[in-house]
Amino acid sequence: MQDYDIAALALPQAQTATDQVFDALYNAVVSLQLPPGTKVSEAEIAKQLNVSRQPVRDAFFRLSKLGFLSIRPQRATLISKISERAVLDAAFVRTALEVECIRLVATRHTEQDMADLRAALDRQVAALDNPDRRAFHIQDEAFHQILCRIAGHVHVWELILEHKAHMDRARFLTLSVSHRRRVLGEHLALMEALEARDPEAAEREMRAHLGNIRVVLPGLRAENAAYFEEEDTLPA
């Protein structure tokens, strides 16, 4: 069994033991701290998080329903490999929701809203060279969450979170420092469109920003073949 340590990822604000375990495992899976194909056991997770096995069992079930865990009777439980189809479906849903949000933001933002977005960009700059890729990812997420809030649809971010985790696993494979700089540049282009109050330009920039995963996905698979489902192929 591969060594792993997820105890540091447990979220103290979780309301129940099951939520705590689920949050810790979910973040470890999405950030690739638990890479695709990793064997996990209820007993080991329970020991690391200092909980009984029942909340771990419940969290495993929730993760399996999301497609992140392969639970097979009498066989090892594995972190599921990345499905290209799931990544593309997640990108489709996220793009549809965020394009509508960015168009609203372009026409209704206030100066305080723009100040909040600039502060989020400053935090991204501070995280650019952090060796822990999660630091930049967190600030990237915060920027997009603020956009949903400014659009007047805070609940949309919750919907996006439900769908985009498969996309995030692929995105984590791209988060080199050079790619982080590219992402930051795309966010700056979005800001320019918002400052001009140009919804068409804002939509164009958002589609390009979120659509980049389709461009890089074949290369990610070629470089990380062991992480992807073997029979999974992109549509023609």
Q: Which residue range is the domain that position 64 belongs to?
A: 7-79
Spatial separation of the C-alpha atoms in residues 58 and 77, rounded to whole Å:
14
**Domain stop point among 27, 48, 79:** 79
Q: Are residues 43 and 103 in the same domain?
A: no
Q: Are residues 52 and 112 in the same domain?
A: no
The mean pLDDT value for 110-124 works out to 97
- Summarised one tens digit per residue, pLDDT across range 154-191 is 999 999 988 888 999 999 998 888 999 999 999 999 99
Q: What is the CATH number for 26?
A: 1.10.10.10
State yes or no: pLDDT of 152 exceeds 80. Answer: yes
Spatial separation of the C-alpha atoms in residues 16 and 166, rounded to whole Å:
25
The answer to whether residue 1 is domain-embedded is: no
Spatial separation of the C-alpha atoms in residues 204 and 206, rounded to whole Å:
6
Q: Are residues 167 and 102 in the same domain?
A: yes
Q: Are residues 117 and 204 in the same domain?
A: yes
The mean pLDDT value for 17-27 works out to 90
- Summarised one tens digit per residue, pLDDT across range 87-110 is 999 999 999 999 999 999 999 999
Helix axes 154-172, 84-108, angle to 10 degrees: 140
DSSP element (H, E) containing 179? helix 177-195
Q: Are residues 203 and 145 in the same domain?
A: yes
How many domains in the chain?
Answer: 2
Query: Which range (70-74, 112-116, 130-134) has the least confidence?
Result: 70-74
pTM for the predicted model, two decimal places: 0.84
**Domain stop point among 20, 52, 79:** 79
- Summarised one tens digit per residue, pLDDT across range 39-87 is 999 999 999 988 999 999 999 999 999 899 998 887 889 999 999 999 9
Averaged pLDDT of the chain: 90
State yes or no: pLDDT of 222 exceeds 90. Answer: yes
Q: Are residues 105 and 69 in the same domain?
A: no
Spatial separation of the C-alpha atoms in residues 42 and 189, rounded to whole Å:
45
Q: How many CB atoms lie within 10 A of CB 75?
A: 9
Q: Are residues 137 and 201 in the same domain?
A: yes
**Domain stop point among 79, 111, 142:** 79
